[in-house]
Structure formats: C-alpha cells, structure tokens
C-alpha cells in the first residue's frame, strides 16, 4: 500500500497533518535504511583505515599470478630469501590514537622532508605516546622513528618518517596526512611521490595487531620488507608510487609494490600456533606488499596501546617456516621507471560519495599541492 494511502485511510486529519505524518514516515524509512546499511556486517571495522575497496582490503585469493613469478621467486630464493635468512616479525611500530582534546604541534622540517611529496601540517601529539622503536617521542636510536597518529574525529591518519620531539623542539622528516574517507587511485598520492614509507603508500593499514590476531582474523594485506640488494633497482609497480636509490637488485628481483601471496596449498595447520596460522591465512587471502628496505621481513603493531597483548599470541620467530618459495608473485601490471619527479594528484570521488564502482569515479586531478 502506498504511504499516502496508508496515512489517509481511516483518518480525518487535514492536509497539513497528513503531510507532517508523511514526512515522519519517510524520515523513519530513511533511518531504517541507513541502519541496515550500517550493521556490523556492512560497516567498516575499527581497524580499517580506508574505504573497503582500497587495495589493502581486496580478497586476492583468486587473483592472477604474474608470468614472471617463477623467475622472481627463484631469484629471491637464490639471493638468500628474506632478510636474515628467515621470516621474522618486528613488533616495534606504534599507532597512537588522538581525539578532539589532543594538542596539535607544528614541526621543523629536516633534510628528510621532501617537496612536493610531503605535507607541512600541524600534527596531533597524544600525551604519553611513543615513536617506532622508542619509549617516548625522542628519537634516541637515530633510526626510522616513525610517528603514526590516527585522528578519528577529523578522519585523518598522520604518518611521519624520522620524527624527533625533545621538549619544545619538534623536528620531522616526511609527513603524509592521509584522508581516511576518500579513495586513492592505484597511483596513490601521485607516481614518483614518497610517503613515510619508501614505497609511497600508508603504513598503518598494513600493520597487523594483537587485537586482530586475538579476534581470530586479519582483514587486510600485510607490510613486508627486503634488503635493498634484493629489491629491483630503478622501477616500481602500483600501488607503490616510489622507489629509492639504495635498491640494487637486478631485473629478476621484486620491485617496490610487489604483491606476494602465500600459496593456497601451503599446510597452514603445520605452523606452531593459532597466531601464526591467522597471519598465514591473511597472506593467502590478502597477500603482502613490499614496502621498505631492511632486514626483518614482517612488521606488526606494538601492543603498548592495544587491548590484547602479543605474549602467548605470536612471537618474532613463529613464521620462520615460511620460505620465499612458499609464495607467488601476483600480477601488478608493467613496472614504472623511477625518476623521483613527484607529481601530486587528488583522490578519486564519485559526486561526493565514495563507491566501489570505478566507472562512477571522477578523473584524477594532477598537480594538487
């Protein structure tokens, strides 16, 4: 029965009352529809930093294997495989939560800040936080010292490389402020543009956490790294947008952006504990992206600020059994020559609403500062 008939039947109300009732009915219907769309099954999980069709969340269980996979995997195996000779896990990355009360601070760019790649904006600094590998905000180790802060009220993800805060002084390398509500194209913020990670894409979206493992499922791809000598020199593949000069691998080596998937026939049940099996299943479903140069293959979020803790869940050597020959290289398209000439571009929109149907997306706008 039409809404107009429903409200008119058996009622002596006048036209104004009828219109009021009709508006109330339509509003209730809209609320009900929105509620259905935002049920837990359809809504983004708390650990999803970008819209669900971002590359990090795509199920690649049946994605095509690159024709060069045997060559690349064979070369990598012959070159020594993972850094250190075995797949290990680095638990040093912190992801800090900021809210509307968190103070913002300006920073002084260092020589590790690049224009136009990086963003010169104030950064929220939660009290009591810490940098990657540090107990506080001072970069005592002189390492990468990544600063990662999620500001959910503004839907922004702040990621900085080589941060160092000592008292009133805040020095920083490359800062990227990611908009968590928009869709970035496969060329990210622009080809040839770096980020807080060498490959040019976000870090936090690829870190797995103790909370995810404790819940029994990782619903995104994973960040992995290789020694610079085992990364192909002079090229990258999207969604990477950048490479680095220290890479020195030959054409048979995997480039930045390489997407590896654990083979479907790998005996996951043979791994030593449930935590290792959960990570392995994520590698089979979502794969892992080559993101940086270094020794320890996998990076997970530290448990300082998570509810679950790594102790008893997963240890740094629990995935040692996974060799490079247990993986296959997925097809990511032709390699892009690396020049370092960053051209920033805007994210993709669809008439103000995000959509997974790329045919509805607007064109990419180049030259955005």
- Tens of pLDDT, residues 273-330: 999 999 999 999 999 999 999 999 999 999 999 999 999 999 999 999 999 999 999 9
Q: What is the pLDDT of residues 263-283, one digit of tens each?
A: 999 999 999 999 999 999 999
Helix (H, G, I), strand (E, B) or coil at 289: strand
Q: What is the pLDDT of residues 104-119, one digit of tens each?
A: 999 999 999 999 999 9
15/108 same-domain check: no
Q: Which burial class, exposed, middle or buried, applies to 37 when counting CB atoms under 10 A from its CB (0-12, 13-18, 19+)?
A: exposed
Domain count, the chain: 2
Which residue range(s) make up the domain with 345? 55-360
| Higher-scoring residue by pLDDT: 29, 173 | 173
15/76 same-domain check: no
21 located within any domain: yes
23/66 same-domain check: no
24/107 same-domain check: no
Q: What is the pLDDT of residues 68-90, one digit of tens each?
A: 999 999 999 999 999 999 999 99
45 located within any domain: no
Q: What is the pLDDT of residues 130-172, one digit of tens each?
A: 999 999 999 999 999 999 999 999 999 999 999 999 999 999 9
289 located within any domain: yes
73/27 same-domain check: no
24/99 same-domain check: no
33/59 same-domain check: no
Tell whether the model's pLDDT for residue 13 goes beyond 50: no
261/129 same-domain check: yes
101/205 same-domain check: yes
49 located within any domain: no
CA–CA separation, 198 and 258 (whole Å)? 13
11/59 same-domain check: no
Range 195-223 average pLDDT: 98
17/59 same-domain check: no
Radius of gyration for the chain, computed over Cα atoms and rounded to the nearest angstrom: 23
Instruction: Check: pTM over 0.85? Answer yes or no.
Output: no
Checking DSSP bridges between strand 259-262 and strand 235-236, what pairing results, if any?
unpaired
CA–CA separation, 289 and 291 (whole Å)? 6
365 located within any domain: no
Distance, CA of 259 to chain centre = 13
Q: What is the pLDDT of residue 48?
A: 82
Burial letters 157-178, b for 16+ CB under 10 A, else e: bbbbbbbbbeeeebbbbbbbbb
318 located within any domain: yes
369 located within any domain: no
Range 12-27 average pLDDT: 44
142/211 same-domain check: yes
268 located within any domain: yes
């Amino acid at each position: 029965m039409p809404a107009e008939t429903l409200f008119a039947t058996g009622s002596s109300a006048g036209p104004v009352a009828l219109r009021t009732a009709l508006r109330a009915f339509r509003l209730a219907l809209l609320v009900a529809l929105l509620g259905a769309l935002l049920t837990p099954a359809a809504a983004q999980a708390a650990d999803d930093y970008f819209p669900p069709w971002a590359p990090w969340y795509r199920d690649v269980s049946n994605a095509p294997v690159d024709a060069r996979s045997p060559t690349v995997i064979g070369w990598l195996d012959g070159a020594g495989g993972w850094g250190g000779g075995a797949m290990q896990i680095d638990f040093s990355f912190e992801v800090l939560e900021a809210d509307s009360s968190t103070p913002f601070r300006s920073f002084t760019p260092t020589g590790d800040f690049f224009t136009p790649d990086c963003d010169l904006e104030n950064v929220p600094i939660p009290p009591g936080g810490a940098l990657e590998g540090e107990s506080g905000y001072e970069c005592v180790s002189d390492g990468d010292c990544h600063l990662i802060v999620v500001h959910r009220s503004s839907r922004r993800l702040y990621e900085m490389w080589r941060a160092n805060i000592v008292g009133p002084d805040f020095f920083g390398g490359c800062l990227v402020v990611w908009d968590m509500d928009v869709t970035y194209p496969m060329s990210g913020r622009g080809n040839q543009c770096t980020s807080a990670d060498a490959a040019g894409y976000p870090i936090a979206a690829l870190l797995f956490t103790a909370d995810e493992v404790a819940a029994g499922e990782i619903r995104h791809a994973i960040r992995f790294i290789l020694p610079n000598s085992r990364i192909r020199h002079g090229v990258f593949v999207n969604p990477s947008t950048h490479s680095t000069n220290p890479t020195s691998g030959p054409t048979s080596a995997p480039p930045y952006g390489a997407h590896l998937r654990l083979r479907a026939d790998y005996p996951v049940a043979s791994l030593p504990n449930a935590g290792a099996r959960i990570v392995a299943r994520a590698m089979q479903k979502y794969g892992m992206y080559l993101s940086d140069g270094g020794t320890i293959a996998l990076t997970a979020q530290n448990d300082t600020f998570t509810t679950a803790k790594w102790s008893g869940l997963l240890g740094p050597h629990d995935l040692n059994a996974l060799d490079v020959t247990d993986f296959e290289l997925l097809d990511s398209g032709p390699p892009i020559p690396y020049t370092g000439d960053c051209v920033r571009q805007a994210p993709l929109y669809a008439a103000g609403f995000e959509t997974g149907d790329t045919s509805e997306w607007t064109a990419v706008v180049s030259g955005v500062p």
